[in-house]
Amino acid sequence: MSALKNHPRLYISEREISRIRSSFSIPFLKRAADSLATKAEEYSKSSIFEYPQNTHNEHLLRARYLQNRVISLLVYWVKTDNLKYRNAVIAHLREMSKWEYWSWITWRKGNPAPDATWDLSYGENSTTLAIAWDLLYHSLNAEEKDLILGMVRKWVVPSFIKHTTPGQEAWWAKSPESNWLAVCACGGGLVALAMFEEIPEAGLLLERANNGIVDFMNSLVSTGGGWPEGVAYWNYGMRYAFLYLLSYETAKKEKHPSLALPETLETLRFPPVFSPHDKGCGFGDISDNTWHPVALHYAMAERLNASDVLQSLDSKKHDAFEKSWATETELLALHPGTLSVANNIESKPIIKLYPGIFWGFFADKMPAPSLYVSVRGGSSDGGHSMADLLSWHCLVNGERIISSFTNHEYIDTTFSKRRFELPEVRPDTKNTILIGGVGIQHPSHVKTSLIKIRGHQGFHMDATAGYEIIYHGNQVVFFVGRLFLFLDSQYVLILDKVHLKHTNRIETRLHTYANLKVIGNNTVLESGKEKATIFFSSTVPNMIATSVVTPTNPAEEQPKVLRWATKDLHDNVVFATLLAPSEASGNIELTNKTDGVIANITINQKTYLFELTKDLQEKPS
């Protein structure tokens, strides 16, 4: 391989160092610079630090806290030239060299062998060592070099090679749809790039790491840039993938082919559209958290000249940063330095369905929609998935009206074989359809497609295959379908149809943290300054009931449940749910015929008539 660039050669190089040393006029960058000064002073006082213990994957949290401290101290040293901060980095690495275990997994097994595994902690710790080596390189003495190289030779080289050897790869090495591949491969790849001249095995490490990152990025081709683990895990996986790719290009002085993929550009747009008004509206684990961009998102948007992405990122709130990540510090190096004023405001309705994962969203305008709905189709299989197929979110002027209930902590059962027994994961806590008390099975798939009926855009979902209910040896479900229509981009109409071989109890559920008031077959929801009215109807006698979810963690707020259920047992039912983003008057008349469904909708004195087939498609005229 041709000679690599001189140090610094990773993602923070000469241009980024110039930015770090400049003054900052953008308010959130000024706050970040002030915060860095405070943090660096605190971190320089001691290399012993507290991190969450007796919790899920505490060794990984330790790795993140260390990386945050090391990067913060490095950046502040680069900014100030004060050796106190540079020496504090060495002190932290010296403390790291005393660790008996790198992995929580092997710690719990009592196996301290350095090559016992290669997991997220190994990926993050290796990344930390590579960044430190690269920025400290010209100031390191022989003993300090031996300190860092000693850890690399003990922990990184043998373990990464062992767990990426063909035929005995770790599971993540063959899982391009998982954040693990990016994090784990990045660690090995960055060490190889940073210490290429010092490690004889660096070529092999780089080859295997690069193959992993390429597989990770290629997985975006089948999803159109969507990410099945949601926006929080997009941040995690893509941070490390981008860190590697940008470092690769800087170190090797050549372009990486993964950055030429159209889907690489498209994936930069995925988190913003599933987090309007800074509210996560994706699906799976921790999917409703407030979303903030990571600094590597900016760096990649700048690299790909994605001005619309830079504008959407700058429009997000930068008022809080997770303390175990280095985002606040990295922004000083990776933000372009000028504020991108949004000029790409879409005043017309937008609807999009991501292939492969079949997540979709509708907005009356972007990036700050008045009415926003996201929907969940696709597969329930995957590391952070739930039995949440058919579920949806709804925001009205940035206020959560309908929420897809999720988890906010990790415990042993979260990723065990009993995961799907947890309240946060089960279908009965989702905005979905229940038949005889059960919802979508796991794993299963919902066919989802874009649809337009009488000029109104929407999503058509066929969930029949997901409701495998066998009785006396026969499948009793003929059809389960859900149709979303956005009426004049002002109202949300959901039609659900369930057709069974035998009668059963059928129910749809909605979850909300809003205040609610039930008035007959209508419900008024109030969240913040916003209100919404929901009208219910069905082709058989039904009833509204309310209840609450009991989260695994009793300290969490209990979401309220709206249950729209048949009073008796039926075998062929159509439900209608109509949401108006305000207090409204309306009426729904449904007819369920042998050859189809007729829905006559009146809302705020405007009438809509839909004649549909029995599987909720538009009936040919």
- Sequence-distant (6+) residues with CB within 8 A of 354 are 223, 224, 225, 226, 270, 360
User: Do 113 and 242 sit in the same domain of this protein?
Assistant: yes
Instruction: Report the Cα–Cα distance between both ends of the chain, in Å, rounded.
Output: 66
Cα distance between residue 439 and residue 428, in whole Å: 6
User: Do 356 and 299 sit in the same domain of this protein?
Assistant: no
What is the helix (H) or strand (E) element at residue 304, kind and residue range? Answer: none
pLDDT along the chain (621 residues), means of 10: 91 98 95 96 97 94 97 98 98 98 97 98 98 98 98 98 97 97 98 98 98 98 97 96 98 98 98 95 91 95 96 88 85 94 77 97 95 96 91 97 94 93 95 96 94 97 94 91 97 98 96 94 94 97 95 94 96 97 93 96 96 95 76
Judge whether 393 and 381 are in contact, CB under 8 Å: no
What is the helix (H) or strand (E) element at residue 320, kind and residue range? Answer: none
Cis check: omega of the bond before 367, within 30 degrees of 0: yes
What is the helix (H) or strand (E) element at residue 227, kind and residue range? Answer: none
Q: Which of 279, 300, 334 is the last residue of a domain?
A: 334
Judge whether 241 and 212 are in contact, CB under 8 Å: no
The predicted structure's pLDDT at residue 237: 97
Q: Which of 281, 309, 334 is the last residue of a domain?
A: 334
CATH number at residue 539: 2.70.98.70
- Lookup result for tokens 């989802």: 448
The predicted structure's pLDDT at residue 345: 67
Encoded tokens for 311: 């504008």
CA atoms within 13 A on the CB side of 229: 20
Q: Do the domain assignments include residue 7?
A: no
The predicted structure's pLDDT at residue 1: 65
Judge whether 512 and 560 are in contact, CB under 8 Å: yes
- Sequence-distant (6+) residues with CB within 8 A of 200 are none
The strand pairing partners of 506, in sequence order, are: 435
Q: Do the domain assignments include residue 619?
A: no
Cα distance between residue 17 and residue 205, in whole Å: 27
Q: Do the domain assignments include residue 497?
A: yes
User: Do 94 and 199 sit in the same domain of this protein?
Assistant: yes
* DSSP annotation string for 266-296: HHTTHHHHTSGGGB----STTTTSBP---HH
Strand 596-603, strand 491-504: pairing: unpaired
How many domains does the structure of the chain reveal?
2
Cα distance between residue 345 and residue 349, in whole Å: 11
Model confidence, pTM: 0.96
Q: Which of 282, 300, 334 is the last residue of a domain?
A: 334
Q: What is the 3-state secondary structure (H, E, C) of 179-217?
A: HHHHHHHHHHHHHHHHCCCCCCCHHHHHHHHHHHHHHHH
Q: Do the domain assignments include residue 117?
A: yes
The predicted structure's pLDDT at residue 342: 65
User: Do 312 and 373 sit in the same domain of this protein?
Assistant: no
The predicted structure's pLDDT at residue 319: 81
Q: What is the 3-state secondary structure (H, E, C) of 554-597?
A: CCCCCCEEEEEEECCCEEEEEEEEEEECCCCCEEEEEEEECCEE
Query: Which domain does 497 fall in, by range?
Result: 350-613
**Among candidate residues 487, 510, 483, the one with its CA nearest the CA of residue 498:** 483
What is the helix (H) or strand (E) element at residue 420, kind and residue range? Answer: none
The strand pairing partners of 276, in sequence order, are: none
